[in-house]
A and B are shown apart, each in its own frame.
Chain A
Amino acid sequence: MKKTVFFGALTVAGLAAGAAAAATLDDVKERGKLNCGVSTGLVGFAYPDDAGEWKGFDVGVCRAVAAAVLGDPSAVEFVPTTGKTRFTALASGEIDMLARNTTWTFTRDVDLKFEFVGVNYYDGQGFLVPKELGVSSAKELDGATVCIQTGTTTELNLADYFRVNNISYEPVPIETNAEAQQQYLAGACDVFTTDASGLAATRAAFEDPSAHVVLPEIVSKEPLGPLVRHGDNAWGDIVRWSLNALIVAEELGVTSANIDEMLGGTNNPEINRLLGTEGTLGEMLGLEADWAVKALKAGGNYAELFETNIGENTPIGLARGLNAQWTDGGLLYTPPFR
């Protein structure tokens, strides 16, 4: 009898909660913390430092959203998720948003019922080779042995690329990135292929990084971005425009250094609208007028986040490439703040 009561209570509670689950913003405000799903550890994107503070490029997005919503970039509960648990964690409401190097694909967006709010990093599959191989283009890799993670899209992308270019290769299947590094360094394969950001991080960990090069060819599209659940568009808007605020701030030249000065008023109405000194953008999102100011003060604008975590002055040393502003020939292009 107890069991029936228990399940009955669960059902009722489930129905009641289902009706009330729409307002993520209210939940977050009431909790006073943003539950943000991140990776359990990915170089440059999410990692705990020796004091247990989470750092990284994806973590920066979480902090910006927390700052915009709650006014405090440290009001985030970071929930480490693995590739297997990330989607259920989001779907079940354990986390409010996921910022974990997740590629925006059709099925994830449509079939899994998530909403990708934008792209914070345009990645793509690349090739890492030793310099002594004397190769300058992936098209010269005919007959090479390639270390590749089994059962991933990288495996399929690789097969496609070599078939299209009519060259042959010999795959060396490996299980994890750690294994790949060891195999590649031991000379078990000529080429290591995975996402370009991962290649850069792997290369940076080598004893002599200059003896290895990442080839210029990128053979797949991997737009990585934060995502939220279907069904709460207001919350999706908040995450989307928090990310957009970081990107547009770079375009408009607003940085964490000059933001206080700009708050005094500028001649550019878009900056004023972004910073809340003009218009009511914050109110429309259900946030304070200075939501974007707080988001920008959390870790700086997009360029600042990029440079501190994965940019050319860090050990990972990624160039902006596709992740430059559209004005600089990249793909970052936010809709206008108006």
Chain B
Amino acid sequence: MSDTSSNIAYVRKDMLPQKAPPKTSVGAIGWINANLFSTPANILLSVVSIGFIGYILSGLLPWVFMSVWNADSLNECREIISEAYGSTHGHACWGVIKERWLQLTFGFYPPEHYWRPILAFILLCVTIAPVLFEKVDRRLLIVTAIYPFLMPFLMWGGTIWGPLTAAVGFVIGYFVYKAAAKKFGTLIAVIAAVMLPVIWWLFIAGPVAGLLSGIPIGLEFVESRRFGGFMLSILIGVVAIGCSLPIGIVLALGRQSDLWIVKSICTGFIEFIRGVPLITLLFVASTLLNIFMPPGTNFDIILRVIIMVTLFAAAYMAEVIRGGLAALPKGQYEGADSLGLNYWQAQRLIIMPQALKISIPGIVSTFIGIFKDTVLVSIIGLLDPMGLTNAIRADSAWNGIYWELFAFVAFVFFVFCFSMSRYSMYLERKLKTTH
């Protein structure tokens, strides 16, 4: 019936070309229409919010950018500002940051040795890269293994033999385990692999390091008292974060264990540490331990603080990971058992990868919390960035300056914490297996 169809004039034979969408629904205008001014209520909210943001920025932007960088004291700043802008109100004096940013970063670390913390920080990035990102060359994991010994050597200095002999302990443990596992079985191998390094550290490492110290390879010793600023915060934060995760995993597993003693010790530890404020633990570290120790023992204050913060973080970490373990269906445990895996194999291959994945947001927020909590050490007299703001204000040149210092400290902390948070989101996306 082709001829009839050709006679019907009102049926269109070909498609109309696509028309551009109306201008009010595309591009910037379209977005604004859809998102900001779609209903009267939204219009009102949008106008109020934009007005509020504008009001904040109108004060903040001139304060940040119409400011003084070149001044040696607050008074000089005020003079320059009142000359340039008429009134001293609402303009920042960044001269204090320009003069003190090195101090805020490194504390009292000797300037000729600044390369050491910088190198330690760069190596830290190299170290965590293969742990954080899959695409990075696996061989970098060697750096990761060396770093725990290299970092203290770089930061504190001294002879190289101390960290080396400490590392040898782990090597001994590894080889003892390898050799003993074949001959005597796993249990004896584990016991031997723990005992022998401990004996090495307690009785042999010291004298050996002493003998070797005749060969003077090392860096100049820098005392803990000289540590400060962001370097101190990052040092405490990184060690606490790095150590708390494995300790936390062990504690979480211990708390779920069927062995009564292990379970009670782990539960007791976690509940005790979580029941005590961090500031109390810091006071214990700084004052109480001093009284228990014999006078003259030099148990490094920063080491004490790091241990306390690590224990604190580990207790929280344990509960976060226990949450992940609890969220796993029972079938996963039973499945692992049915495959004939032993306890550690099941944990390593089946349970932990899933439990940790579930716990990522909790783990990272614990990390961020711990990193920020490091500023509490200013209360026990360590000069972290917040402690230094007070010390800098005590200089009569900068007496009376507040917001600039606080803003700078807040900005640096924000950069670190925000990167951690973004990384955790990246990790969650990468590990997402649901559809």
Whole-angstrom distance between the alpha carbons of A314 and B73 in the complex? Answer: 13
Is there a chain B Cβ closer than 8 Å to A242's Cβ? no
Is there a chain B Cβ closer than 8 Å to A215's Cβ? no
Q: Judge whether B290 and A40 touch: CB under 8 Å.
A: no
Sorting the interface of chain A by its residue count into under 10, 10 to 19, 20 to 34 or 35 or more gives 35 or more
Sorting the interface of chain B by its residue count into under 10, 10 to 19, 20 to 34 or 35 or more gives 35 or more
Residues of chain B contacted by A207 (CB below 8 angstroms): 78, 88
Q: Kindly identify, within residues 215 to 242 of chain A, every residue whose CB is under 8 Å from any CB belonging to chain B.
A: none
B313 to chain A, nearest CB (A): 23
Q: Judge whether A77 and B223 touch: CB under 8 Å.
A: yes
Name the one of A17, A40, A46, A81 contacting B294, with C-beta atoms under 8 angstroms: A17
Whole-angstrom distance between the alpha carbons of A42 and B394 in the complex? Answer: 5
B4 to chain A, nearest CB (A): 91
Chain A residue with minimal CB distance to B296? A17
Q: Interface 1/0s, chain A 175-200, versus B by CB < 8 A?
A: 00010011000000000000000000
B81 to chain A, nearest CB (A): 10
Is there a chain A Cβ closer than 8 Å to B400's Cβ? yes
A39 to chain B, nearest CB (A): 8
Contact A82/B108 with A47-B391, A88-B290, A205-B74 known, Cβ cut-off 8 Å: no
Q: Interface 1/0s, chain A 303-319, versus B by CB < 8 A?
A: 00000000000111000
Q: Kindly identify, within residues 373 to 423 of chain B, every residue whose CB is under 8 Å from any CB belonging to chain A.
A: 378-383, 387, 390-397, 399-400, 402
Residues of chain A contacted by B292 (CB below 8 angstroms): 10
Q: Interface 1/0s, chain A 48-61, versus B by CB < 8 A?
A: 11101001100000
Is there a chain A Cβ closer than 8 Å to B283's Cβ? yes
Q: Kindly identify, within residues 147 to 179 of chain A, every residue whose CB is under 8 Å from any CB belonging to chain B.
A: 178
Name the one of B291, B387, B399 contacting A80, with C-beta atoms under 8 angstroms: B387
Residues of chain B contacted by A14 (CB below 8 angstroms): 293-295
Is there a chain B Cβ closer than 8 Å to A4's Cβ? no
Q: Judge whether B294 and A315 touch: CB under 8 Å.
A: no
Is there a chain B Cβ closer than 8 Å to A263's Cβ? no
Q: Judge whether A89 and B295 touch: CB under 8 Å.
A: no
Whole-angstrom distance between the alpha carbons of A78 and B394 in the complex? Answer: 15
Q: Judge whether B387 and A40 touch: CB under 8 Å.
A: yes
Q: Judge whether B295 and A40 touch: CB under 8 Å.
A: no
Residues of chain A contacted by B75 (CB below 8 angstroms): 315
Q: Kindly identify, within residues 99 to 125 of chain B, every residue whose CB is under 8 Å from any CB belonging to chain A.
A: 99-100, 103, 107-108
Contact A82/B103 with A47-B391, A204-B396 known, Cβ cut-off 8 Å: no
Residues of chain B contacted by A18 (CB below 8 angstroms): 294-295
Name the one of A10, A39, A201 contacting B399, with C-beta atoms under 8 angstroms: A201
Is there a chain B Cβ closer than 8 Å to A206's Cβ? yes
Residues of chain B contacted by A79 (CB below 8 angstroms): 225, 381
Q: Judge whether A17 and B379 touch: CB under 8 Å.
A: no
Name the one of B103, B380, B393 contacting A50, with C-beta atoms under 8 angstroms: B103
Residues of chain A contacted by B291 (CB below 8 angstroms): 88, 91-92
Cβ contacts A to B, 7 pairs, < 8 Å: A13-B294, A41-B391, A43-B396, A50-B100, A81-B381, A92-B290, A207-B78
Which A positions have Cβ atoms within 8 angstroms of B?
A: 10, 13-14, 16-18, 20-21, 27, 39-50, 52, 55-56, 77-82, 84-85, 88-89, 91-94, 178, 181-182, 201-202, 204-207, 314-316
Which B positions have Cβ atoms within 8 angstroms of A?
A: 74-75, 78, 88, 99-100, 103, 107-108, 223, 225, 283, 286-288, 290-297, 378-383, 387, 390-397, 399-400, 402
